[in-house]
Amino acid sequence: MQQRKLGPFTVGAIGLGCMNICHAYGQPATFEEAERLLLTALDEGVTHFDTAALYGFGQSETIVGKVLAKHRSKFTLASKCGMGGEPNAEGVKVRVIDGRPEKIKATCDEALQRLQTEVIDLYYLHRWDKKVPVEESVGALADLVRAGKIQSIGLSEVSADTLRKAHAEHPIAALQTEYSLWSRNPEIAVLEACRELGVSFVAFSPVARGFLCGKLDVAAFEAKDIRKPMPRFSAENYPENFKLFEAYAAIAKEVGCTPAQLAIAWLLHQGDDILPIPGTRSVDHLREDLGADGVKLSDDVLARLNGLINQNTVKGDRYPEQANKEVDTERF
């Protein structure tokens, strides 16, 4: 696999997002399925694993720790703080954004235990808690760097302006945001800011939450599937969006790859500072995703893809309104 810089680290260009094994898209994988997936990824040359305290409220970190701790020297480990699970009045854990310095430090200590490691290579602020100045949250992360608990700092779903404020407090190694053919928000300002500051860009949901893989039965999404309230997957918008897929799949056939590989290859062609982290529970899908590394796209194909699927041709916003309020990313 081609190698790219992730902050101070050198990793395989395609990493593995570890959310899907326990969170967000229906039933979680069994431990045995997750173990096979993670070990296969390592065998196939993946050297960038990305998880978070939020995923399964610590379950993803726990699984990654159990499976990969003995192989710790072989990969770069990224995780996230600032968003996790806290019990509500009924004692049920719910998602909470909390960027207070004391919470960030406590979350890191818990993550180190779950991940069975002495240091996290790249630790992101998963969401900017808008009740707390970003400089305070990043200051806490800088304390963790000085304490030797993390090696570098990342940000997730923030704007160019917030990135610059944070970077002035402590150098930011990487910024992570959704980026794909159908989510072009980073192109507004934050990609340019990353390049100005020397910040690596990590692209999550590179296959558009499954849209760029093939036809989805959106009516069959489980209640906890995070796509269920997303406007692009609504009963009104999804059929309109899927009309774009036939021409897209034809381009993939012409190139000689699968639709998922075409989506990831498009991202790899957007700059050598961009690192996609597709997620899956399937070993077959994992191998398919990694195959994008060898897909070469001509300027003509790139131009056709850009004209086919973009912010003007896709129906619906990427998030429902509540989620849009929680993130800090620029919007078209």
Query: In the 3-class helix/strand/coil scheme, how is 125-136 assigned residue by residue?
Result: ECCCCCCCCHHH
pLDDT of res. 89: 87
pLDDT of res. 224: 85
The Cα 257–Cα 22 span in angstroms is 28
Q: Which residues are catalytic?
A: 55
CA distances from 321 to 83, 131, 326, 330 (A): 18, 19, 9, 14
Least Cα distance to 323 among 220, 227, 222, 191 occurs for 227
The Cα 85–Cα 81 span in angstroms is 11
Burial 178-217 (b: 16+ CB within 10 A, else e): bbbbbbbbbeeebbebbeebebbbbbbbbbbbbbbbeebe
The Cα 319–Cα 77 span in angstroms is 27
List of the chain residues with pLDDT < 70: none
pLDDT of res. 192: 98
Least Cα distance to 150 among 138, 163, 161, 134 occurs for 138
- Identify the bridge partners of residue 180 per DSSP, sorted by sequence position: 183
For the stretch 195-208, pLDDT in tens is 999 999 999 999 99
All structural domains of the chain, each given as residue ranges with its CATH number in brackets, are 3-210+266-295 (3.20.20.100)
CB atoms within 10 A of CB 285: 19
